[in-house]
Amino acid sequence: MIVFGIIVGVIILWLILTFNSLISLRNMVKNAFAQIDVQLKRRHDLIPNLVNAVKGAMKFEQETLQKIMEARAKAINAFQAGNIKEGFANENILTQALGRLFALREAYPELKSNQQVSQLMEELTTTENKISFARQFYNDITTKYNTKIQLFPNNLIASMLGFKEFDLFELPKESPEKEAPKVDLSLQS
């Protein structure tokens, strides 16, 4: 009888500890996801300002600028419609188009010396970095969470208590946009 009581006690204790640690881990995952969201919104706010600031100088890159504005609009619409997957697909296109813009900037000395553009560029650079670091942290913490609910004996109770796995972020491997942009240096003169 005493042995039985001890066993039940240990099981209840284990249940409480596992449940609590899963809850706190899941909240960390949710918070990490919210951080990505914050940075994406920041990016959407910054892009129109930057495009307006560089539009005049970058006459020959209208196509790139156009693409950036399009991807931004599509991403915002998709998120508003609740289509998360399409939204992130467009965010990835946006990331690549912005990377191209950063590379092209080197070819425009008047942009490099412009204080306002430099500040906007720095803001956008840090936002881009924050997006990728927030994703990195999200992936790390989500992997930890997913592993925890898959391991024995946690897997026996995880699904019963309503803990589901979360998806990781994956960046598209093959993409034509990833090629290094060709910059015509003769524009400088």
Partner 1 sequence: MILLVFILFFAFIGFGFDYFYLQNLTSPSYIEIKKPFIPYGTIIALIIAALLTINAFINGINMIVEATGARTPNETNLKEIQLLNVVGEMSLAAGIPMPKVYIVPDRDLNAFATGFSPQKAYVFVTEGLLNELNREELQAVVAHEISHIRFYDIRLMTLIVTLMNTIAMISDFIARSSRRTSYSSSRSRKSSGGEAILFFIWVILLILSPIVSRILAMAISRQREYLADAGAAELTRNPKALISALEKIRQAVSPTRSMKDSVAYLCITDPRGSYIEEKTGFWAELFATHPPMEKRILALKLMAYEKAN
Contact residues: partner 1, CB under 8 A: 28, 32, 35, 39, 115, 118-119, 122-123, 125-126, 129-130, 133-134, 136-137, 140-141
119-149 in b/e form (b: 16+ CB < 10 A) is ebbebbeebbebbeebbebbbebbeebbebb
Least Å distance, CB 35 to partner 1, is: 6
Least Å distance, CB 114 to partner 1, is: 12
Contact 22, 161 (CB under 8 A): yes
Cβ proximity to partner 1: between 71 and 141 the closer is: 141
CA nearest neighbour of 69 among 83, 49, 39: 49
Cβ proximity to partner 1: between 41 and 159 the closer is: 41
Cβ proximity to partner 1: between 90 and 127 the closer is: 127
Cβ proximity to partner 1: between 140 and 167 the closer is: 140
Least Å distance, CB 125 to partner 1, is: 8
Structure tokens at 135: 């994703």
Cβ-Cβ contacts under 8 Å for 183 (sequence gap 6 or more): 103, 104, 106, 107
